[in-house]
């Protein structure tokens, strides 16, 4: 009788851990990653520290996607950022805009690399020196 109570308690604990411990879905993590990228890129103009890091990476031949990888928290950010086009599923792509040379599109792709789940745009304007 005692063992069955413990068994039921263990099963309830496992179910609760699975329910509350799984966190965000892949789609929600993707959307959060796009929002983070949009926010970080929007800070390049007004924030001197972000601007310096962005400029240093771009001047060294890196891409805006590399900048996002560099500024996101380790082990907490979205795992895949790419530049210009998606090479696999569940990735965030940062690509140049079509009208304004300072505009960047941020696109979050799920299982379909032809159609993004979420798309944002941001203007990254560095002050003239």
Confidence (pLDDT) at 26? 93
In a domain, 106, yes or no: yes
In a domain, 16, yes or no: no
Which domain covers residue 89, as residue numbers? 24-123
Domain count, the chain: 1
The residues near 16 (Cβ < 8 Å, ≥ 6 apart) are: none
Q: Could you say which residues of the chain have pLDDT below 70? A: 1-23, 129
Structure tokens at 114: 């032809």
Beta strands 103-109; 81-83: pairing state? unpaired
Q: Is residue 67 within 8 Å of 36, Cβ to Cβ?
A: no
Confidence (pLDDT) at 49? 95
The residues near 40 (Cβ < 8 Å, ≥ 6 apart) are: 50, 67, 68, 71, 72
Confidence (pLDDT) at 115? 96
In a domain, 49, yes or no: yes
Structure tokens at 59: 């001047």
pLDDT digits (tens, 9 = 90+) for 77-103: 899 999 999 999 999 999 999 889 999
* Measured distance CA(97)–CA(105) in Å, rounded: 6
In a domain, 94, yes or no: yes
Confidence (pLDDT) at 24? 74
Confidence (pLDDT) at 16? 41
Confidence (pLDDT) at 127? 77
Confidence (pLDDT) at 126? 81
Confidence (pLDDT) at 22? 54
Confidence (pLDDT) at 17? 43
In a domain, 45, yes or no: yes
């Amino acid at each position: 009788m005692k063992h069955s109570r413990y068994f039921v308690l263990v099963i309830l604990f496992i179910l609760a851990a699975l329910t509350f411990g799984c966190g965000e879905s892949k789609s929600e993590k993707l959307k959060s990653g796009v929002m983070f990228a949009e926010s970080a890129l929007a800070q390049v103009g007004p924030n001197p520290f972000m601007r310096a890091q962005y400029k240093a990476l771009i001047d060294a031949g890196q891409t805006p996607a590399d900048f996002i990888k560099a500024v996101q928290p380790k082990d907490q950010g979205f795992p895949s950022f790419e530049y210009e086009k998606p090479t696999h599923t569940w990735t965030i792509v940062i690509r140049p805009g079509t009208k304004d040379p300072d505009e960047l599109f941020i696109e979050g792709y799920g299982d379909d690399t032809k159609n993004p789940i979420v798309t944002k745009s941001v203007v990254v304007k560095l002050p003239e020196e």
